[in-house]
Amino acid sequence: MTTSLRIAWRGSRQLLVLAGVMAGLALVSLVGLIVDDRTVLGQPVWLKPFKFGVSFVVYGFTLAWLLGQLHLTGLRKKVKNVSVTVLAVSSFLEVAVIVLQAARARPSHFNSATDFDDLVWTSMGVMAGFILLGSIGVALMLWRGGTPDPAVTTAVRFGLLLLVAGMVQAFTMVVPRPEQIALDTDMQGAHAVAVDDGGPGMPLTGWSTTGGDLRVGHFVGIHGLQATILFALALSWWVRDAARRVRLTRVFAGAYAGVLVLVTWQALRGQPLVAPDATTLAAAAALVAATALAGALAWRLPRPSGQITVTERIMVQDLHDNPDLVEKA
């Protein structure tokens, strides 16, 4: 863990500090969940700060650790520094106003009940835009950087696409629904579909159990980076062939993208995650079958001739960096 922290610190002090602050927020919010019985839209007031805190701990540390694998210079280093600063500052401000509204026992998202609430909601939209821009800047640096393991590099690239897709998906929640516009309600935009926000929800996540919930797809997307990297790292323990690991990682990323599309489509049709209809189940079955077929093909395909393994690549790099080893041999 100490080594990972050093790598993350080298990659981005800003993002690692952000992760540390968010870890503290998660702990404080956990205490708030225990001692504060106030609710907002049927949910404990400190549940949202807790969830955002945990999410940004994972997000900030993962990006910092990945950036620590790179050796950037010149313009690319400047772009990275600007991107992580924008990302860290905007993320902190976004969560800060969420905490402020939680302390006031007011909804933070979609709330335009008063001028102040509307200002808070507007500022959150601005910060979300900066978070997306900063994330894209970091993604471009990581996309070109690569890692010693081609499967992990593949996971990073596909995971970054999933991450950006998850962020863009969030904008489906901010568009006011026709009935909200007609009634001129205080809530403009919503994460629930076919039901009002704040109804019965799943434990911890709060995702609706009576209607569609667009937060499911958002959650799946923004954590696609961690999921694909963990999959690629797990493969390295039991699949030695680098080409096979790359192919399997691509299959996993494709299946994960399919899940993102599936749960978003399900939510837009007003269905709870826990109560899919026959059409959704059929689509899920088709996705599972396609993934199984693609996985089998990825496993069986032979390694291209002339391709070296990761171990062989590291040995070649060691010989290149230490020519004395060749003379001793």
Would you give per-residue pLDDT tens digits along the chain (329 residues)? 688 999 999 999 999 999 999 999 999 999 999 999 999 988 899 999 999 999 999 999 999 999 998 888 888 999 999 999 999 999 999 999 999 999 999 999 888 889 999 999 999 989 999 999 999 999 888 888 777 789 999 999 999 999 999 999 988 887 776 655 554 566 677 888 888 887 889 988 889 999 999 999 999 999 999 999 999 999 988 899 999 999 999 999 999 999 999 999 999 999 999 999 999 999 999 999 999 999 999 999 876 555 555 444 544 454 455 555 445 44
Cα(139)–Cα(46) distance, integer angstroms: 31
Instruction: Retrieve residue 265's tokens.
Output: 């489509």
| Same domain, residue pair 71 and 104 | yes
User: Does 271 map to a domain?
Assistant: yes
Number of domains composing the chain: 2
Instruction: Retrieve residue 225's tokens.
Output: 């980076």
User: Does 319 map to a domain?
Assistant: no
User: Does 121 map to a domain?
Assistant: yes
How far, CA to CA in Å, does 94 sit from each of 49, 129, 192, 239?
11, 11, 21, 41
| Same domain, residue pair 135 and 233 | no
User: Does 316 map to a domain?
Assistant: no
| Same domain, residue pair 117 and 212 | no
User: Does 273 map to a domain?
Assistant: yes
Domain termination residue (choose one: 120, 145, 170): 145
| Same domain, residue pair 64 and 139 | yes
Domain containing residue 123: CATH number = 1.20.120
* Element of type H or E holding 146: none
Is the full-model pTM beyond 0.85? no
User: Does 285 map to a domain?
Assistant: yes
Name the DSSP letter for residue 307.
Answer: P
Instruction: Retrieve residue 158's tokens.
Output: 């596909």
Cα(147)–Cα(141) distance, integer angstroms: 12
- The range of the structural domain enclosing residue 86 comes to 1-145
How many C-beta atoms lie closer than 10 Å to residue 107's C-beta? 23
Question: Among residues 219, 242, 216, which one has the least CA distance to residue 155?
Answer: 242
Instruction: Retrieve residue 288's tokens.
Output: 């599972």
How far, CA to CA in Å, does 75 sit from each of 14, 78, 81, 141?
19, 5, 10, 11
User: Does 321 map to a domain?
Assistant: no
Instruction: Retrieve residue 76's tokens.
Output: 């690319």
Cα(221)–Cα(93) distance, integer angstroms: 22
* Element of type H or E holding 81: helix 74-103
| Same domain, residue pair 22 and 86 | yes
Amino acid at 321: D
| Same domain, residue pair 135 and 166 | no
